[in-house]
Structure 1
Amino acid sequence: MLHLIKLSVGSKDVAGLQAWQAERAITHAPLRHRTRNRPKRREEILGGGSIYWVIGGFIQARQRIVDLMEDTMEDGTPCTGIVLDPVLVPVAARATKAFQGWRYLEPDAAPPDLADHSMAPGIEALPPHLRAALREARLI
Structure 2
Amino acid sequence: MVKLCVGCSSPEELAQWIDYRLEQLKAAGEKPEQYHITRMVPKRIDELLYGGSLYWVMKGNILCRQKFLDIRPFTDDEGIHRCKLVLEPKIIPTIWQPRRAFQGWRYLDGSEAPEDDNTSEKARLPAALKQELADLGLL
Superposition TM-score, scaled by structure 2 size: 0.82
CA contact (8 A) 2:94 2:116 kept: yes
Contact conserved, 1:34 with 1:73, CA < 8 A, in 2?
A: no
Q: Once the two structures are aligned, what percentage of the paired residues are identical?
A: 35
- How many angstroms apart in 2 are the aligned matches of 1:70 and 1:123? 37
For the 8 Å contact 2:33–2:89, the answer to whether it is kept is no
Unaligned runs of 5+ in 1: none
SS at 1:80's partner residue?
strand
Contact 2:95 2:117 in 1 (8 A): yes
Q: Give 1:134's aligned residue.
A: 133
| 1:27-38 → structure 2 map (5 Å cutoff) | 27-28=24-25, 29-38=32-41
Distance 1:94 1:74, change over 3 A: farther
Tell me how far apart the structure 2 counterparts of residues 30 and 73 of structure 1 sit (CA, whole Å): 18
Alignment partner of 1:11 is 2:8: yes
Deviations 1:35-73 (A, max 9, x none): 100000111111100000001111000000011013455
Q: What amino acid is the match of 2:80?
A: T
C-alpha change, 1:25 and 1:74, in structure 2 (3 Å) is farther
Which residues of 2 match residues 34-113 of structure 1 at below 5 A? 34-72=37-75, 77-113=80-116
User: Unaligned 5+ residue runs, structure 2?
Assistant: 26-31
Bigger fraction of residues in helix = 1
CA apart distance, 1:95: 1.3
How many residue pairs were aligned? Answer: 132
Evaluate the alpha carbon distance shift between residue 32 and residue 137 of structure 1 in structure 2; reply closer, same or farther with a 3 A threshold: same
TM-score by length of 1: 0.81
Q: Which of 21, 25, 41 lines up with 2:22 in the alignment?
A: 25
Check 1:111–1:31 CA distance in 2 against 1; reply closer, same or farther (3 A cut): same
Mapped to 2, the partners of 1:40 and 1:49 lie a distance apart of: 13
